[in-house]
């Protein structure tokens, strides 16, 4: 059976959307890994599969490029919402993910805003391997942890250009403190409304941006008293806005763009 897809990006954070509504879900872990290969597949940071849902406009499941599953992806959620809103000629949709029901809206500028749900702040919810205060972890540099459906570990640094992300990131990602591995953020606070963020992404390497990582970094900065409740998060690929009142849901707003659409070759699907 042919499998069509849309290749999209959000400020350079690229992802693939497979719409499997009204049809069987053919995507497996191995298939996601082959699709995500930037030399032999299409290549992406994350893959989102859109499925039928009884209590929402659609249900989303996510895969990393290495074939591992994840519960949240802010960029791909916005991309799926953009596709569904365009096809239905609506300005809002509700999507079900492992994070629950997420309301997505198109803003007056054309950007997509999504309610990403409440951040997970308890040690067992992130999750961490041991009971501890997630505000200050017992690691060099005293990072802060939270969960957005996937684990996040945030370091606050004075000079982002001095951080060797490619060497430090993998070490933190796989430390035993994070049994499911973790996304690793390196944040330079420009002012209370603006941060510069670079990322080592769990199962993905160094992306140009990440919606859920932008949320996690902003949440942890607000928790540390470094930021106001509305923050511009500047990644390598562009800027998104994150809002969190310290109690309720996190709201992520930013642009998404379709690059091209296509059909996966049978050989890729059958391999």
Give the mean pLDDT per block of 10 residues along the chain (271 residues). 90 96 91 93 95 97 93 95 97 95 96 97 98 97 96 97 95 96 98 98 90 97 98 97 98 97 81 64
What pLDDT does residue 1 have?
Answer: 66
Residues 244 and 151 in one domain: yes
Residue 135 forms part of a structural domain? no
Amino acid 122: pLDDT = 98
20 and 101 share one domain: yes
> Are 204 and 112 within one domain?
no
User: Is residue 127 one of the residues assigned to a domain?
Assistant: no
In a domain, 25, yes or no: yes
pLDDT at 198 (0 to 100): 98
Write down the pLDDT at residue 204.
74
Distances (CA, A) of 59 to 20, 37, 64, 81, 94: 10, 25, 17, 11, 9
Beta bridge partners of 185: 154, 199
Q: What CATH number should be reported for the domain holding residue 36? A: 3.10.310.10
Are 88 and 20 within one domain? yes
Say how many domains are in the chain.
2
Q: Are residues 109 and 210 in the same domain?
A: no
Does a structural domain hold residue 128?
no
Are residues 111 and 7 part of one domain? yes
SS3 content of the chain, % helix, strand, coil (to 5): 20, 40, 45
Global pTM?
A: 0.93
Domain that holds residue 8: 3-116+256-270
Instruction: Report pLDDT for 271.
Output: 64
């Amino acid at each position: 059976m042919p499998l069509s897809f849309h290749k999209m990006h959000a400020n350079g954070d690229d992802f693939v959307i497979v719409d499997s509504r009204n049809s069987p879900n053919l995507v497996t872990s191995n298939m996601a890994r082959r699709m995500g290969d930037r030399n032999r597949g299409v290549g992406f940071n994350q893959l989102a599969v859109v499925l039928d849902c009884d209590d929402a406009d659609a249900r989303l499941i996510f895969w990393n490029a290495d074939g591992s599953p994840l519960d949240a992806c802010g960029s791909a959620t916005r991309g799926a919402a953009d596709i569904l809103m365009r096809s239905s000629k609506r300005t809002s949709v509700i999507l079900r993910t492992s994070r629950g029901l997420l309301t997505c809206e198109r803003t007056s500028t054309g950007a997509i805003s999504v309610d990403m749900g409440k951040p997970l702040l308890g040690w067992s919810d992130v999750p961490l391997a041991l009971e501890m205060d997630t505000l200050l972890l017992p690691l060099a540099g005293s990072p802060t942890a939270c969960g957005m459906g996937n684990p996040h570990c945030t370091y606050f640094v004075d000079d982002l250009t001095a951080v060797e992300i490619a060497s430090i990131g993998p070490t933190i990602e796989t430390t035993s403190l994070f049994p499911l591995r973790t996304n690793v953020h390196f944040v330079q606070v420009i002012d209370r409304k603006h941060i510069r963020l670079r990322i080592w992404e769990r199962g993905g390497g160094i992306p140009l941006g990440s919606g859920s990582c932008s949320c996690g970094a902003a949440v942890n900065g607000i928790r540390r008293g470094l930021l106001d409740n509305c923050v511009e998060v500047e990644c390598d690929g562009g800027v998104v806005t994150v809002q969190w009142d310290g109690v309720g849901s996190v709201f992520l707003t930013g642009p998404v763009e379709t690059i091209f659409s296509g059909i996966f070759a049978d050989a890729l699907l059958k391999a």
